[in-house]
Structures are given as C-alpha cells and as structure tokens.
Amino acid sequence: MRKLVVGSRRSKLALTQSKQFIDKLKAIDPSLEIEIKEIVTKGDRIVNQQLSKVGGKGLFVKEIQNELFNNDIDMAIHSLKDVPSIIPEGLTLGCIPDREIPFDAYIAKNHVPLEELPKNSIVGTSSLRRGAQILSKYPHLKIKWIRGNIDTRLNKLETEDYDAIILAAAGLKRMGWSDDVVTTYLDKDTLLPAIGQGALGIECRSNDIELLELLQKVHNNEVANCVTAERTFLAAMDGSCQVPIGGYANYNNNNEIEFTGLIMTPDGKERYEHTEVGTDPVKLGNRVSEILKEQGAYEIIRKLNEEASH
C-alpha cells in the first residue's frame, strides 16, 4: 500500500479522532505509512458568529473536499454530522466505522439536574436543535449561544453566566474526559441527537479502489444503515444548519431499524416528530420525511431557509 495522506481539521478533537481512526487501520496493517495534513475550514475561521447565521452547508468540509479533488490528500476523516447529505460526484464515503455514543451531554454547575434548573437559568449551546428541544420542554429556561472547543466551553461554564451547557457526548468520550464531568447523558426522548452524531465518515475518491478495499475492513454495516436512514431524512427535508432538525436510528430487539425524525421552530413552540420501523434505511428516512411534510413541517424549513437567504 502506498503512503496515505489524511486530511483533518486542525481542532484538537478532529486531530484526536483522526489519530484514533489511523490506529484502527494500523491494527489491521501495521506496515501502513499514514500522515495527517491539517486543513483550516471556513467553519474553523468563523469563531465569533453563530454557524446557523453564516449559512450554507459544508462549512467544515468544503476545503477538505477540494484537497481530495486536487489529489493533495487520500482521505478525509469527518465528524459525520458536519458532512452534507449530498456528497460531490467523484467522492464517496468509503467507510463508516464504529459509532461513539450518539447522545448529548448535559453539564451543569454543581451538577443541578436539568429538570431542577430555576427559572431564567442560562443554558449554553451553539445548536438550534438543542436550543429548540430544551425550550419546548423547559420554556422557563434561557438559551445563550456558545462557541469554542470542549475546553473553552467548559471554562466558559465556570467563568461566565452560564448555569449549564450541552455538548455532543462523543467529543467528550473521544477526548478522554471522565464521565464525572457530565451531569447526565440526555437520552433520545429528552434530546434527539443531530443527524449522524457520534459517527465518523471517511471520505475518499470514488475511483481509489485500493483505499476503498482497505477501508471496508473497518466498516460497520449496522452503523452505516442507521446513519443512512438519518442522512436520507436530512436530504429529503432539505435540512440545513438554519433548521432545528434531529434524527436518530438504531437497531431494536427484532433486528429492525427504528428511526425518529424531528423538525422544530427555533423557539421550540412548534414540533413535528415521527418514528417508523423497518429494514430499508433509505425507505425509512424518506417515509418519515413524507409524514412530517404531510403534517406541515416543511413550512418551517421553507420559512427559515427563506429568511436565511435574505
């Protein structure tokens, strides 16, 4: 096998999960020579604005995809929730490895439970999806925008006027943070995760047969089916970072995929949610999308996308 160059965002989390994935490949073939090329994306450069206000899909992937097209890297290791549902022609997701915990982590000062936070307590999140779901269940709370890596956000919880923050649990786990930091992991009934949360997507050129064969050795087919249902729903709903959209699929005890899709208004006042069970992930994602559209969910997306384009 030739020497491989991996493209990764420069953040500590991105580099850590890239190194962890490279270790998986080397466990299969210790002779592999792999180097990481750090790439700064538009999403990394914009640190003083809410990402949903910046607009556009692929804020964290476009520059990396360009390096693939230019043959400057062989593969990219993405957090799958950052990857738009449509992959450019000529590129493919060569594998979806094992998924880390897909849920959100709630971290509060003095570990005050979410349901016990007093009126007007401030919860920090940079996600419209998290904010909308919290406001819908706990309208007496306030959502305040927060950006930065895990360390920065944990520091802001201690030093600024936040009473609690919500982060993706997968990032904390991959960075080796102890469970003691987390007040509670929020299950899907409390906070439905982002599409693809906790999963990685390994992107490469569609014609790189040698690399694709290697990547298949660390591919997790069950995880791939689950995130396919989620990403099909995202594409069918035309979801973007302007829209509070969530989706989570997992295998139930009957070895069928159970998929729940969610669309909300940012203020949490309107909520459209539906669950379907089946074996075909694409049909599942499309079916949930059709039902939510029939219920009127697409009107939220249309309005939010229209506002963002003005």
Question: For residue range 116-170, what is the model confidence (pLDDT) as tens digits?
Answer: 999 999 999 989 999 999 999 999 999 999 988 899 999 999 999 999 999 999 9
pTM above 0.85, yes or no: yes
Q: Is residue 56 scored above 60 in pLDDT?
A: no
User: At the fourth CATH level, which superfamily is domain 104-186?
Assistant: Periplasmic binding protein-like II (3.40.190.10)
**Amino acid letter, residue 35:** E
Residue 59 confidence (pLDDT)? 67
The DSSP secondary-structure symbol of 140 reads: T
**25 burial class (0-12, 13-18, 19+ CB within 10 angstroms)?**
buried
User: What's the whole-number mean pLDDT along residues 12-16?
Assistant: 93
Where along the chain do its domains lie? 4-99+199-219, 104-186, 232-308
CATH architecture of 4-99+199-219: 3-Layer(aba) Sandwich (3.40)
Which residue numbers are catalytic? 82
Nearest to 94 by CA among 112, 78, 106: 78
Fold equal for 4-99+199-219 and 104-186: yes
Nearest to 103 by CA among 16, 37, 199: 199
Residue 219 CB partners (closer than 8 Å, separation 6+): 95, 96, 97
Q: Cα 72 from chain centroid?
A: 26
User: At the fourth CATH level, which superfamily is domain 232-308?
Assistant: Porphobilinogen deaminase, C-terminal domain (3.30.160.40)
